[in-house]
Structure 1
Amino acid sequence: MKKRLLSITTAMILSQQVVAEPELTQKISNLPGVESIVFDENKNVYFTSLQAGNEKDDGSIIALNSKYEFIATIVNGLDNPKGISIKGELLYIADMTDLIEVNLRSGTVIKHHVESAEFLNDVAIDKSGNVYISDMFTSEIYKFSDNKVSKWMDSPELENPNGLLFIGDDLYIAAWGYFNKNNPMEAPFGRVLKVNPKTKVITAITEEPLGNLDGLQLDNKGQLIVSDWKQGVIYSVSMEGEAQKIIDLPRGPGDIYYSKKENKLLIPMAIDGEILSLTE
């Protein structure tokens, strides 16, 4: 009897240690300089930003169907488009020193120039429809409200913010790591941060620096998913700041997208010009 109980207990312990390995299930190729991807549930369409090459104004936003097949170019002639966010019929894109606003119904494209910006990177929208844009080179966040862009926060404590995500009323930040003199590849690691928009108090979610962080999403378990561009790592981060590596990748995972419906993570890989699909 004792031997049988021991074997059952051992089996239970071993079964609790089994963790589902993530699986790369698909590669969507021929996407030069792909940086960001979002999904429009109403249209059943993905929008993705292509930075393309080094030619002036060769960047674009394209639409893909649910099978990741090309539908159309939504806007072209962009400089270096990165983060995308969507609200209703309006698509917002961070494009170096401009916030691009696209009306998907009318096709109208408006460039909101941000005078003091250097490297606009990601876009997030709060419950009231205000748009927030990170500037990774100046460690600033801008706010677009009432058809006007203004500087909202300016602090080295933002650790050169890259990815932005609203969860409830709080703005979460994937920080690249504070640097100056336009030398991001030599930057120290950044942390996952949280900002209270009313008080502008900054709280560190990860107490220790985690990486040169880029994309930021929230999964079905209430965990943050964070991409580390320079090290090529995807992390799962609890709200208490505990980080666990999900997968190692080549350098370059950018502004990721998580589908709660499909429990699937889409990972733009700018250097390789492809999007990876990761499922558990």
Structure 2
Amino acid sequence: MIGKSSINLAFAICLVTFQTMIAHGASAKELKVLSEQTAKGFGHVESVAYDPKGKVLYTSDFGPDLKPADKDARGKITKVSLDGKILEDGFLPVKGQVLNKPKGIWIKGNRLWVTDIDSVWVFDLKTKKGKKLDLPDVTFANDVTVMDDALYVSDNRSDQLVRVEPADFLESKADPKITVVFKEKSINPNGVYSGKGGALMMVGFKGKDDPRGIYSMLPGKEPELLSDKIGMLDGLYVMSNGDVLATDWVSGSLFQWNKTMGMKKLAADFKGPADFCAFPNNKGLMVVVPDLVKGELRFVQLGN
């Protein structure tokens, strides 16, 4: 006879295994949307990032005007609960700091990085201390990611990717080193994310009639197109098995992609699906997609 404790233990092991498979892409199965919820009350949200230490979200918000290149000093970072409630509107910037049209966010430890047109900021989430770094020749700094001790910033309008070293320059006395990784490769990189084997993954965003796809770039190598040219791609998340989640403005969707099945839409009817975040929960994988045009956050629960 199997005891109750053994059954409970087996169930717990199965649950943890299921969550791990979803979160880290161990399963090759297509993901399914289990539920969707929408949170309103924002300005124009371009990016959302998950803080695993604080168990909260941070959004980059243009404010009332959808003018992504205007230096109007009306941008902000807002702290949001995992069910979409605004915890602190205008968490950043504080007095003496100015954000215009903040876009891609990356969080690691107590640090938050965010791009802003022709610059990138790094902030301390505890003290709110921040430091701005101007990026020469960058005209539309978009997404940002940290790999090892380097910060990568995409610029889709001038079709380039730059690297900043060290990534955490908040307390640096010397100016960080800024390197152009590539320029004018017809990629127009938007979302960036770390991939397998030290690869940097990217998705491209240009125009409806000039679509871009999913790209991978290994250290010292040229960027490689992995997918078909899909559309105007924005946000990006890479699972450990190499499957990609991304957003597309042309189809107005969040989709899953791998080389075997190609592109599979998961959630649709977005007007401006921008830079999202994803994190595991007790049902599988929660994806929070900002709709830049509508000024909303959509919580998309995924599972197998």
Same fold (TM > 0.5): yes
Contact 1:132 1:143 in 2 (8 A): yes
Give the partner amino acid of 1:170. Answer: A
Contact 1:24 1:276 in 2 (8 A): no
Matched with 1:75 is: 92
Give the partner amino acid of 1:136. Answer: N
C-alpha deviation, 1:40, in angstroms:
0.9
| 1:34-53 map, 5 Å | 34-53=45-64
Distance 2:87 2:54 in 1: 12
Matched with 1:172 is: 201
Distance 2:119 2:261 in 1: 33
Distance 1:66 1:202 in 2: 35
Distance 2:242 2:58 in 1: 25
C-alpha deviation, 1:251, in angstroms:
2.0
Distance 1:114 1:156 in 2: 17
How big is each residue's C-alpha offset from its partner over 1:18-61, in whole Å with a ceiling of 9 and x where there is no partner?
Answer: x8752552111111110111111111111111011337111100
Distance 1:199 1:163 in 2: 20
Give the partner amino acid of 2:144. Answer: V
How big is each residue's C-alpha offset from its partner over 1:145-173, in whole Å with a ceiling of 9 and x where there is no partner?
Answer: 13415133233325100000002311000
**Length-normalised TM-score, structure 1:** 0.83
C-alpha deviation, 1:62, in angstroms:
1.0
Residue aligned with 2:185, SS:
helix
Distance 2:159 2:79 in 1: 31
C-alpha deviation, 1:244, in angstroms:
1.8
Q: 1:241/1:91 Cα in 2 relative to 1: closer, same or farther (>3 Å)? A: farther
How big is each residue's C-alpha offset from its partner over 1:111-163, in whole Å with a ceiling of 9 and x where there is no partner?
Answer: 1011211000000110x231100011111111111341513323332510000
Contact 1:218 1:258 in 2 (8 A): no
Q: In structure 2, which of residues 73, 81, 85 is the aligned counterpart of residue 57 of structure 1?
A: 73
Give the partner amino acid of 1:42. Answer: K
Give the partner amino acid of 2:215. Answer: L
C-alpha deviation, 1:187, in angstroms:
5.2
Is 1:279 aligned to residue 301 of structure 2?
A: yes
| 1:98-177 map, 5 Å | 98-126=119-147, 128-146=148-166, 147=169, 148-157=176-185, 159-168=187-196, 169-177=198-206
Matched with 2:276 is: 256
Contact 2:194 2:238 in 1 (8 A): no
Contact 1:176 1:187 in 2 (8 A): no
Q: In structure 2, which of residues 42, 49, 52 is the aligned counterpart of residue 31 of structure 1?
A: 42
Give the partner amino acid of 2:231. Answer: G
Residue identity over aligned pairs, in percent, reads 20
Distance 2:280 2:190 in 1: 22
Q: Which runs of 4+ in 1 moved over 6 A?
A: none
Is 1:200 aligned to residue 221 of structure 2?
A: yes
Q: Which has the higher contact order (CA 8 A, sep 6+)?
A: 2
Q: CA RMSD in A?
A: 2.2
Contact 1:99 1:112 in 2 (8 A): yes
Q: 1:257/1:34 Cα in 2 relative to 1: closer, same or farther (>3 Å)? A: same
Give the partner amino acid of 1:238. Answer: N
C-alpha deviation, 1:258, in angstroms:
1.5
Unaligned runs of 5+ in 2: 1-29, 170-175
Is 1:211 aligned to residue 237 of structure 2?
A: no
